[in-house]
Amino acid sequence: MSRDDATPSRASFLDHYRAGELKEFFDLAPGDVETALRVPRPADRAALADAMRAHARRLGAPEKVFRNLERLEDPASRVVVAGQQTGLLLGPAYTLSKAVAAVRLAERLDRPERPVVPVFWLASQDHDTAEIDHAFLLDGAERLQRLELELPPETPAGRIALRREMVAAVEAGLRRQEPAPPNLDEALELVTSAAGPATSYADWFAAQLYRLLGEHGLTQFDPMQDDAARLLRPLIEQELERPEASVAEVNGAARRLRHLGFDPQLGRGADATNLFLEVDGGATPRRVLLRHEGRNFRVEGRVVAVDELRRRLDADPAAITPAAGLRPVVQDAVLPTAAVVLGPGELRYFAQLRGVYALHGVPMPLVWPRATATLVEPPAARMLDKYGLSVGAFQADPEGCLQRVLLDRSGHGERFRAASERLDGMMRELLDEVEGIDPTLQGAVLRGRGYLETTLRRLRGKTAEALAREDGITRSQFERLRRQLLPGGEPAERVLSPYSAFLKFGVRPTLDAFLSIGAEGDHELRI
């Protein structure tokens, strides 16, 4: 799956989507689940369930997974799908919140006559190993720790063999945490038991997810497994026939987004395709972008005919894989997808794919913005309550929150607000006066008002800085909030592995906190 990250501009894009202002880029209106469930989805459900069943059995999934795979074979079935890169120690915590959101939405839509099954699409084809080779933990002393493995570059996660020394390195890294985590043994058991049946790096991730959410019915699809990869082949071969067509659709949507003032997520060069080919990389294969050259293709300077690519698929159905501009379409051609749970970053590139879906005759599913969930440790919870703050408000503007608290406690906050109101009133009176004398003077008044407001803001900030120097306790408490809620300057759910909480509070209490969230919304999980 693509990156789930968000920035202020991406959040704005999400707001525009929720407001229904981007409907030209999507088949279905935000939240229209009933229409999404009525769209025909002619997937090969029996072959799909068989492939997923073999994967689940090999990795020791619980019984609820197999019951849901039986329900998936119903011709009326639909799925709610989420997915993510297969990162070390489950990657950032939003992996869990995204998976739980898929489970909750599937539960909401499920009917005896029309089963709805949650599916997690493992991004085992992804070759950006620099994004999955590490995990961040906040230790007991609130220090941000990076645990890292050395993985082969440009190699799909599903092709990276899981070696015993990888597991041992992670064990050692967890044992080095100081002070010693109270639930270390429980966290280690999850790591090592999941490694037992795993043969690849992606398997290791999947086995952990089965142990956490399999009993809640979350099934998984690994597109690098041979029987699963064969299901992708018809659309891959269709793409080989006209590789320039999907690129044109992606780039056309990019132009329309730019016209509306948005920065597109995807862009393709004139000879680029939406396909990757595995090439020899020594010990492990490398994943390289295919480029088209007339009726043929080119990879690393070598011309490759379509027939040769088909023979590669005969020998290895996972040798050719979709790029970001095609992967969701492949996903929703294979799965009977009613809704896809996305993060803000993923939403941006989905907005460029409506034409690619249409090109391949695949109905675009409903896009469902994922729930957010921030684990709030007891010290942070006490400080938020003390100062009347929410997690979202603090993460959006920690400096502004500190200023407000300091100014309000000193009484200066009320005085600054009163001054601002008086300034606003005087400016309104002045504008009324100049309107009757010379309307062209309004511009000068408005510029003066802007200057005064800027001066007032600066004075407010300088006053807060002076108060912070005097109030070391409040300043240090806000620094603690930063370390817990904005580690590395980013919201905690996009940085910290869920193992950060597993180690401190236990696997089950942490998982129960995540399971308390719904399919949407912003959640503070107090643990």
Is pLDDT larger for residue 310 or for residue 455?
310
- Residue 504 shares a structural domain with residue 448: no
pLDDT digits (tens, 9 = 90+) for 367-423: 999 999 999 999 999 999 999 999 999 999 998 898 888 877 766 545 655 666 676
Per-residue pLDDT band for 473 (boundaries 50, 70, 90) equals confident
Is the link from the previous residue into 179 a cis peptide, with omega within 30 of 0? Answer: yes
Question: Is there a contact between 137 and 120 (Cβ–Cβ < 8 Å)?
Answer: no
Q: Assess whether pLDDT exceeds 90 at residue 437.
A: no
Per-residue pLDDT band for 471 (boundaries 50, 70, 90) equals confident
Is pLDDT larger for residue 10 or for residue 52?
52
488: exposed, middle or buried (C-beta count within 10 Å: 0-12, 13-18, 19+)? middle
Is pLDDT larger for residue 455 or for residue 473?
473
**Cα separations (Å) of 301 from 49, 241, 288, 297?**
40, 21, 11, 10
Tell me what the pLDDT averaged over the chain comes to.
91
Using DSSP's 3-state secondary structure scheme, residue 131 falls into: helix
Question: Phi/psi class of residue 370: alpha, beta or left (left: φ > 0; alpha: ψ in -120 to 50)?
Answer: beta
Averaged pLDDT, 356-364: 98
**Cα separations (Å) of 259 from 8, 23, 232, 256, 345?**
19, 15, 34, 5, 19
519: exposed, middle or buried (C-beta count within 10 Å: 0-12, 13-18, 19+)? buried
Residues in CB range of 450: below 8 A, 6 or more apart:
none
Report the alpha-carbon distance of residue 362 to residue 357 in Å, rounded.
5
Question: Is there a contact between 217 and 117 (Cβ–Cβ < 8 Å)?
Answer: yes
Token representation of residue 510: 């942490």
Does the pTM of the predicted model rise above 0.85? yes
pLDDT digits (tens, 9 = 90+) for 261-285: 999 999 888 899 999 999 998 888 9
Residue 431's pLDDT is what?
63
- Residue 341 shares a structural domain with residue 391: no
306: exposed, middle or buried (C-beta count within 10 Å: 0-12, 13-18, 19+)? middle
Q: Assess whether pLDDT exceeds 80 at residue 2.
A: no
Lowest mean pLDDT among 99-108, 384-393, 456-465, 468-477: 456-465
Report the alpha-carbon distance of residue 492 to residue 55 in Å, rounded.
32
Pairing of strands 116-122, 78-84: parallel
Q: Assess whether pLDDT exceeds 90 at residue 452.
A: no
Query: Looking up tokens 């408000």, which residue turns up?
Result: 393
pLDDT digits (tens, 9 = 90+) for 295-352: 899 999 899 999 999 999 999 999 999 999 999 999 999 999 999 999 988 999 999 9
- Residue 22 shares a structural domain with residue 159: yes
Report the alpha-carbon distance of residue 491 to residue 20 in Å, rounded.
26
Residue 407's pLDDT is what?
76
- Residue 256 shares a structural domain with residue 202: yes
Kindly write down the DSSP assignment for every residue of 313-325, as one continuous string: HHH-TTSEEE-TT
Q: What values do phi and psi take at 56, rounded to 5?
A: -65, -40
- Residue 457 shares a structural domain with residue 481: yes
Q: Assess whether pLDDT exceeds 50 at residue 1.
A: no
Question: Is there a contact between 299 and 290 (Cβ–Cβ < 8 Å)?
Answer: yes
pLDDT digits (tens, 9 = 90+) for 209-237: 999 999 999 999 999 999 999 999 999 99
Report the alpha-carbon distance of residue 525 to residue 514 in Å, rounded.
7
Report the alpha-carbon distance of residue 347 to residue 333 in Å, rounded.
19
Report the alpha-carbon distance of residue 132 to residue 91 in Å, rounded.
7
Residue 7's pLDDT is what?
41
- Residue 36 shares a structural domain with residue 171: yes
Q: Percent of the chain, pLDDT > 70?
A: 88
Report the alpha-carbon distance of residue 165 to residue 233 in Å, rounded.
35
Q: Assess whether pLDDT exceeds 50 at residue 508.
A: yes
Q: Assess whether pLDDT exceeds 60 at residue 289.
A: yes
Q: Assess whether pLDDT exceeds 60 at residue 523.
A: yes
Per-residue pLDDT band for 9 (boundaries 50, 70, 90) equals very low
Residue 453's pLDDT is what?
66
- Residue 469 shares a structural domain with residue 501: no
pLDDT digits (tens, 9 = 90+) for 188-216: 999 999 999 999 999 999 999 999 999 99
- Residue 85 shares a structural domain with residue 131: yes
- Residue 452 shares a structural domain with residue 307: no
- Residue 440 shares a structural domain with residue 361: no
Amino acid at 326: L
Q: Assess whether pLDDT exceeds 50 at residue 11.
A: no
Residue 459's pLDDT is what?
61
Per-residue pLDDT band for 464 (boundaries 50, 70, 90) equals low
pLDDT digits (tens, 9 = 90+) for 81-101: 999 999 999 999 999 999 999
- Residue 393 shares a structural domain with residue 342: no
Is pLDDT larger for residue 281 or for residue 157?
157
- Residue 440 shares a structural domain with residue 508: no
**Domain count along the chain:** 2
438: exposed, middle or buried (C-beta count within 10 Å: 0-12, 13-18, 19+)? exposed
Its domain, for residue 48, covers 1-370+497-527
